[in-house]
Chain A
Amino acid sequence: MKKIMVAAILAALVLMPGCAKKEEAKPALSLYTWEAMFPQEVLDAFTEETGYPITYSNFDFDETMLAKLEASNGGDYDLVIADDYIIEEAVNLGLVSQLDKSKLSNYGNINPVYQKPFYDPEDLYTVPYGAGVQTILYNPDKVLLDINGYKDLWDSTLRDDIGVIANYRVVNGLALKVLGESYNTDDLDVIQQAGDRLVELAPNIRLIKDDNLQDDILSGEVAAIVGYTSMVTMALIENPNLKVVFPEEGIGFGIMAAFIPSKAPNSEAAYAFLDYIMDPERGAECFEYLGYYSTYKASDPFISDEYKSFLTLPEGFATNMEMIQNISAEANEKHEQIWTLFKNAAGQ
């Protein structure tokens, strides 16, 4: 009897997937981006509605993505979502295919603020998916002064109390901003000056990290952070008393965007997915999950009130913003050196 039961269960297990398969499955959409870029419900619903299963691969750094894409010569992946500056490199290397906008019925939903960016000046290759700024967030219960800009971070009362993200262009950039310079200067002397300023900032730095910096301001480990929009959103949802500062020296701004690689094996699925997430309601769902600014104007009205102030750009905001772009190899090397010196000084 037992044997028959076992056999029956085994048979059921073997046959079950076979029964479920009603029609021939469509080829999978190979999506390549960071972890946790979409709510699982949206991914599942896409597969259910269009029949394309999704293979989600992720990378930590944009550079890893570019290396993989170069190795496969623009193949292997159907849709990639990455940061602005790396897309410029990918386009220059010929790894990106031009979009056929006739396949994107929701293309008009994109907020024009995020169009014609430096990495795609004619909107030929990309669809933006979320944008963010670097802001200061601080706990007014623990910080004695009113922080208005990056220069206030040098204040001696903030000793060993600041957390910053681990992106050297952003952190070196805040010193450049204090000097009144551009993020993208190629002038090695200016970068060195910024480095000298950073060494003076180092005693105030308690923590340098890219993941979940909001946890450290919420737990009281640090009193102020320089973070990305998503961190600020998550921190404010937990603790609305924290104060957000758009630094008066200037605001660093970044866009994440999706593109279809030049030899994408299944570009049809990529178009279907892009159009799917640009749907107003679904876009709103994605941005609430992602915690970055909504890049689709049509989605803005669907963002719930709880999130609205975090996920849509304030009016008249576009002044004094600068995007971090690619710089010369020498300037980049200099940046790496002042960054390493800064970290060392902070660790003393």
Chain B
Amino acid sequence: MKTWRFRKAAAFLTALPLYVFTIAFVAGPLVLMVAISFLSRGESWGYVLEPTLRNYKGIFEPAYTAAFAQSIKLALVSTVASVLVGYPFGYFMARLSPEWRSRCMVLLIIPFWTSSLMRLYGWMTIFRANGVLDSALMAIGVIKEPLKLLYSFPAVAVGMVYTLVPFMIYSVFSSAEKLDWSLVEAARDLGASPAQAFLTVILPLTMPGLYSGIVLTFIPSMGLYFIADLLGGSKIALVGNIIQEQMMRVHNMPLAAAFSVVLMGLTSLCLLAYRKLAKTGELEGLIQ
């Protein structure tokens, strides 16, 4: 009896710092953010304690709904492209011999040793007028004038896909790795064509990985606003840009908070959809 109580107390005490940390630095700021989103802005900075729904109404200004539409469009494009690149990659990586698999893994991780900002500057060098790509295309005579590649929607989408595709690959890979290949062989033995075997056996069994890959690319791509700034020449205004601008330039903290709450709502919806579809709360690939 005594040891049991002691153990319970010890467990509680061990976990206490974690509780305190989570309440102070995760739950606290969240509650504060939600609360601020219902308050009025202060004269020059901050907020005053006057409850209002004005901020949520403000989100429906055409300027801001356009930004939400733009964010979702970019997220959809990047996610679809990531699936097209990442799914086959992850799938075939799982079919490699264990030795090559780990080599592949290392190669995928190496770019992460460099800051993502640096790598984006690399893309800027490639896309720049008279840059690497322009010069190459002009040298082989495909084009005569430099193309206007940088500072465009496709450039931003390429940057997004480049940054996020590893998450898709890992997710699909960890699903495909667990796949029982004898099931595929059985399907083939029973007369399924390769395409049929893929659609009826492989795809359904790797679906959890695909779903989690989609979640892991769709959600961040709505918030990675520095990619839109650098490769899009700040012309692609995402929700992230608006939150930053409302905070830092307009000093409208309550409106920025309302945007964050709505963005979080959208994110939660995505996660909820994932739970329903994949029938699990855990993200494949990140949490094994």
Of A66, A89, A208, A338, most buried by chain B (CB within 10 Å of CB) is A208
Tell me the nearest residue of chain A to B230, going by C-beta.
A209
**B45 within 8 A of partner (CB):** yes
Interface size on B, residues (CB 8 A): 34
Q: Tell whether A318 is near chain B: CB-to-CB under 8 Å.
A: no
Contact in complex: A337, B251 (CB < 8 Å): no
A332 with B129: CB separation less than 8 A: no
Q: How large is the interface on A (under 10, 10 to 19, 20 to 34, 35 or more residues)?
A: 20 to 34
- Chain B residues lying within 8 Å of A336, measured Cβ to Cβ, are 63, 245-246, 249-250, 252
Q: Is the CB of B63 within 8 A of A206?
A: no
* A94–chain B nearest beta-carbon distance, Å: 13
A61, A333, A343: the one contacting B248 at CB < 8 Å is: A61
Q: How far is the CA of A249 from the CA of B183 in the complex (A)?
A: 75
Q: How far is the CB of B226 from chain A (nearest CB, A)?
A: 12
The residue on A at minimum CB distance from B41 is A329
0 or 1 for each of B161-198: is its CB under 8 Å from A? (1 = yes)? 00000000000000000000000000000000000000
B249 with A340: CB separation less than 8 A? no
- Check A338–B63 contact: CB distance below 8 A: yes
Least Cβ–Cβ distance between A308 and chain B, in angstroms: 32
- Determine whether the beta carbon of B66 is less than 8 Å from that of A344: yes
Contact A206 to B233, CB < 8 A, known contacts A221-B129, A221-B150: yes
Q: Taking the complex as formed, is A27 at the interface, i.e. its CB lies under 8 A from any CB of chain B?
A: no
Asked if B242 contacts A347 (CB within 8 A), the reply is no
Contact of B237 among A61, A67, A343 (CB under 8 A): A343
Q: With contacts A208-B234, A347-B237 known, is A64 near B248, CB below 8 A?
A: yes
Residue pair B148, A206 in contact (C-beta under 8 Å): yes
Q: Does B153 have its Cβ within 8 Å of any Cβ on chain A? A: yes
By a CB distance below 8 angstroms, the chain B residues around A344 are: 63, 66-67, 70, 237
Interface residues of A in 302-348 (CB under 8 A from B): 329, 332-333, 336-338, 340-341, 343-344, 346-347
Identify A63's interface contact among B43, B233, B234, B251, CB under 8 A: B251
A168 contacts B130, C-beta separation under 8 Å = no
Verify B151–A67 contact, CB threshold 8 A. no
Q: What is the bound-complex CA distance between A333 and B61, given in angstroms?
A: 11
- Which residues in window 47-99 of A have CB below 8 A to B? 61, 63-64, 66-67, 70, 89, 93
Give chain A's interface residues, CB within 8 Å of chain B. Answer: 61, 63-64, 66-67, 70, 89, 93, 160, 163, 166, 168, 205-209, 219-221, 329, 332-333, 336-338, 340-341, 343-344, 346-347
20 extra interface residue pairs, beta carbon distance < 8 Å, beyond A63-B249, A336-B63, A341-B63? A63-B248, A67-B45, A160-B148, A166-B234, A206-B151, A207-B151, A209-B234, A220-B129, A329-B41, A329-B43, A336-B245, A336-B252, A337-B63, A340-B63, A340-B64, A340-B237, A340-B242, A341-B66, A343-B236, A347-B232
